[in-house]
């Protein structure tokens, strides 16, 4: 992994200013941008403003010690991914190491600094910082792709729902036409001498003119688009009637009150009354939206 050192910031947090000079001297061959803070409180402010790639954090400092500073940095969404190396010449036991790592430090180094050790640990922290950045970029790209995929799926679902609505409306129009045709044939049959051909036509019309057949066909296509919608709804609200389940399906595919009225052959006011009755049956509050409840199930 290639790292452009000229762009990298390292924050040194230490109440003894000479330790800053030590770090600068160790990295004089590497053109890092070395930042400085004398205590944990100022370190948080500098980190929040500059977003360094790595932090070398002293443990014992006035105002705010290193552990408290790490905890504060890790609690912020802005600074939580900055790798922190805990540095100390006093707190050097294995228990101290455990405490520092549990607080959020990624590494631990003892003072006085060994040049090779310090360089190696800082380089490791910088590589870790670079990896975090790459992961964030990749995660953002994945998030964008998932968002586009979700948008496409929603568009496809909306298209299928509209097809279902048109299918329901076309079935109603067909039944209405067949009913009208049947009435005309009956009227003609009353005046005809031979009723056999007309009776055959009437029988064919009756075979086609079956509301339950249209509903079964609609349900078959609806369940392909919205699997288990009816079974889940009936399991939660067992007292729903067949007509109320139909009404729920029409709401699910986004049909307006006017379209529902057209399909069910009733007035728009009746549809509103039926919707209010359904709303009460599923225990929604008056201010709740029945359409939203059905749409997002």
Task: Indicate the domain borders of the chain.
Answer: 5-113, 226-297
pLDDT at res. 238: 87
Secondary-structure class of domain 5-113 per CATH: alpha beta
Among 6, 24, 4, smallest CA distance to 14 is for 24
Instruction: Report angle CA 105, 111, 115 to the nearest 5 degrees.
Output: 95
Tell me: the pLDDT tens digits for 179-225? 666 677 777 766 666 666 666 666 665 665 555 556 677 777 788 88
Residue 115 exposed, middle or buried by CB count within 10 Å (0-12, 13-18, 19+): exposed
Mean predicted lDDT score pLDDT of the chain? 81
pLDDT at res. 164: 73
The CA distances from residue 263 to 150, 226, 271, 294, in Å, are 31, 20, 11, 19
| Topology alike, domains 5-113 and 226-297 | no
Among 88, 119, 82, smallest CA distance to 104 is for 82
pLDDT at res. 134: 86
Residue 163 exposure: Cα atoms within 13 Å on the Cβ side: 11
Q: Which residues pair with 56 in a beta bridge?
A: 12, 85
Low-confidence ranges of the chain (pLDDT < 70): 1-6, 165-166, 168-182, 189-215
pLDDT at res. 226: 86
Secondary-structure class of domain 226-297 per CATH: mainly alpha
pLDDT at res. 13: 93
């Amino acid at each position: 992994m290639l790292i452009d050192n000229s762009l990298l910031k390292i924050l040194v947090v230490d109440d003894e200013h000479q330790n800053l000079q030590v770090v600068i001297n160790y990295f004089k061959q590497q053109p890092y941008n070395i930042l400085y803070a004398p205590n944990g409180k100022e370190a948080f402010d500098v980190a929040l403003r500059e977003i360094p790639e790595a932090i070398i954090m002293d443990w014992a400092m006035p105002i705010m010690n290193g552990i408290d500073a790490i905890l504060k940095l890790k609690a912020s969404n802005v600074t939580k991914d900055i790798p922190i190396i805990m540095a100390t010449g006093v707190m050097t036991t294995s228990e101290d190491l455990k405490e520092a790592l549990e607080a959020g430090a990624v590494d631990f180094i003892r003072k006085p600094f060994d040049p090779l050790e310090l360089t190696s640990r800082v380089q490791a922290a910088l590589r870790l910082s670079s990896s975090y950045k790459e992961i964030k970029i990749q995660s953002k790209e994945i998030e964008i792709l998932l968002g586009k995929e979700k948008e496409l799926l929603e568009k496809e679902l909306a298209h299928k729902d509209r097809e279902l609505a048109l299918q329901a409306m076309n079935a109603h129009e067909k039944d209405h036409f067949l009913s009208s045709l049947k009435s005309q044939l009956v009227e003609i049959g009353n005046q005809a001498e031979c009723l056999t051909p007309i009776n055959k036509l009437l029988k064919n019309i009756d075979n086609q003119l079956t509301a339950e057949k249209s509903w079964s066909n609609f349900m078959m296509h609806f369940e392909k688009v919205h699997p288990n919608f009816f079974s889940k709804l009936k399991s939660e609200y067992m007292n729903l009637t067949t007509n109320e389940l139909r009404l729920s399906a029409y709401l699910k595919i986004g049909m307006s009150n006017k379209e529902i009225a057209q399909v069910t052959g009733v007035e728009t006011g009746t549809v509103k009354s039926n919707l209010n009755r359904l709303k009460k049956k599923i225990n929604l509050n008056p201010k709740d939206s029945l359409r939203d409840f059905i749409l997002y199930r």
